[in-house]
Amino acid sequence: MGEEMNCNYICELLTAYLDGEVTPQETADIKSHLAGCPRCHDELEELSGVRGNLRSVLKSMADEVDTPAGSWERVRVKLDTRVHWFDGLYNLLGGRTWQLATAAAAVLIIIAVAALWQFGGVTQAPRSLPVPAPAPAPAPEFAPPAPAPQEKSPAPLMAPPMPFEVSVVPEDARYTVGQLVEFELSITNMSSDSIRLERYPPEIVIKPQYRDEIVFSVAGGTVPLEIKPGETVTWEFSWDQKDTGGNQVSPGWYDVTFKDIDAVDATENSYGLSPSARLLIE
Amino acid sequence: MPDLDEKWQHGDVNAFETLFRLHNKMVFKTAYLITGNKETAEDVLQEVFVSVWKSRHTYNPDKGKLTTWLHRITVNQCLKKSGKSPVTVSLDEKGIDLPEMELQSDPEEILISKAEYDRLLKAIDTLDTKHRSVLVLRYFNDLSYQEIAEALEIPLGTVKSRLNLSLRQLKEQMNVGEATA
């Protein structure tokens, strides 16, 4: 193997060598080559320096940021928490994908058997025989197996689906400096029973994104509010971009959070959330 | 944490919130380091967890770690975002506050000057999302090559060559930066 080719081979392995991700044989090859090749030795030194600095820079950059406030709430409102048929099946089987797959296969087999039972007299009739007259309705004792029972109410472990929908409009908006900021929070009762908000109206807090500094807030009320089935309650909120001291806030991203909305359904299940939106002043 | 896995996979939102609290920082910071943009990183964070919730029945803890799955979805979302915007996002032009010389104040840290720091940031800017991703998974998340291969669903050899190429490109870009400084 020529020297140049050997250098190329070794250079391909240097990062993995620094990371301890080479085989014992490769380690021996590299060490042996480096002992007699100042160029590859220098290359290793330089890569080692960049690698160390990179770790340091990545850590430093990551330390500079944190998950923005209200992230969970923003995820929460996007989750579809309706109970699906597969949740019930999953619970029935105690989880795990293979069990789910087995169950799905079993359900398919049951359906197939039921279908054969239902239509077997026709599909299995010999071609040479005349097509029989339509069979009378099967007697009850020969009825095909009953289909799998419909999903019952969720297992106790499972959180009930939220009986209401929450939306903040707009979720993302841009404003020029000084422009009136307007948001609308809506809560719609999707259930067939009334729900109760423990406190009305909700507290509103505005913070610059990534900073734990409240620039503006509106205190929440303390009076409970009942929302009837199908009813939508809406809060409109506007902000003149002034902080609590009456000064125009700086341009940038801001989080608007409707804090600690506690809703209680007819069975006294409690749901707490803080929906939020963000806006850019530019 | 098998109990937690069982619960959120059964549709328990409270357990899912616990899962979010456990992993949101890792996802957000990883996305931020790959995309170089806080707003994009938050979008990625939300899309990752909404996607995990939607696909909760397809995850099998017996076949792989949850963090491997999270890394895969995070990188995929970052790649999706990079398709909608320029491949390289300037880290220092997006309002990121560069740490001051405090880097040198900790004796445990590798010493790096402000000039070197800036050059390295510019060098990182020259990498595309695919190459940044492997660097971040390796040198920030401390994943082994095998774990990166599993997370990105690429061969081990590709991880090796991609990391080597990325690190050497950083070194060359830093040398260019030093020569022009």
What pLDDT does residue B140 have?
96
Instruction: Check CB contact of B105 with chain A, cutoff 8 Å.
Output: no
Please name the member of A57, A59, A72 whose beta carbon is closest to the beta carbon of B121. Answer: A57
Query: Residues 161..180 of B with a Cβ closer than 8 Å to A: which?
Result: 161, 163-164, 167-168, 170-171, 174
Instruction: Say if the Cβ atoms of A158 and B12 lie within 8 Å.
Output: yes
Interchain CB distance below 8 Å, B29 and A57: no
Query: What's the confidence (pLDDT) of residue B177?
Result: 65
Q: How far apart are CA A271 and CA A266, in angstroms?
A: 12
Contacts of residue A269, Cβ cutoff 8 Å, sequence gap at least 6: A160
Instruction: Identify any residues that bridge with A281 across adjacent strands, giving them in sequence order.
Output: A175, A252
**How would residue B139 be classed by pLDDT, with cut points 50, 70 and 90?**
very high
What's the residue count for chain B? Answer: 181
pLDDT range class, residue A234, cuts 50, 70, 90:
confident
User: Is the CB of B62 inside 8 Å of chain A's CB atoms?
Assistant: yes
Contact B150, B143 (CB under 8 A): no
CA B51 remoteness from chain centre: 17
Q: Which of B96, B123, B116, B83 is nearest to B36 (CA)?
A: B96
Name which of B25, B32, B103 is nearest A60 (Cβ-Cβ): B103
Please state the rounded mean pLDDT for residues A172-199: 82
Range ranked top by mean pLDDT from A2-6, A106-110, B79-83 = B79-83
Indicate whether B48 pLDDT > 80: yes
CA distance A7 to B39: 44
| A120/A247: higher pLDDT | A247
Higher pLDDT, residue B139 or A1: B139
Option in A14, A95, A209 nearest B9 (CB): A95
- Written as six digits, the tokens of A198 are 């423990």
**Rounded CA gap, A93 and A148, in Å?**
14
Higher pLDDT, A80 or A208: A208
For chain A, what percent of residues have pLDDT higher than 90?
23
Band of residue A38 on the pLDDT scale cut at 50, 70, 90: very high
Q: Has residue B113 got a pLDDT over 60?
A: yes
Assess contact for A268 and A194: CB atoms under 8 A.
no
Q: Looking at CA atoms only, how far is residue A165 from chain B in angstroms? A: 15
**Sign of the alpha-carbon dihedral angle for A111, A115, A118, A124:** negative
ipTM: 0.84
User: How far is CA A156 from each of CA A88, A159, B10, B17, B19, rounded to the nearest angstrom?
Assistant: 11, 8, 11, 18, 20
Torsion, CA A8, CA A11, CA A13, CA A19, rounded to 10:
180
B110, B132, B148, B172, best to mutate vs chain A, most A CBs in 10 Å:
B110
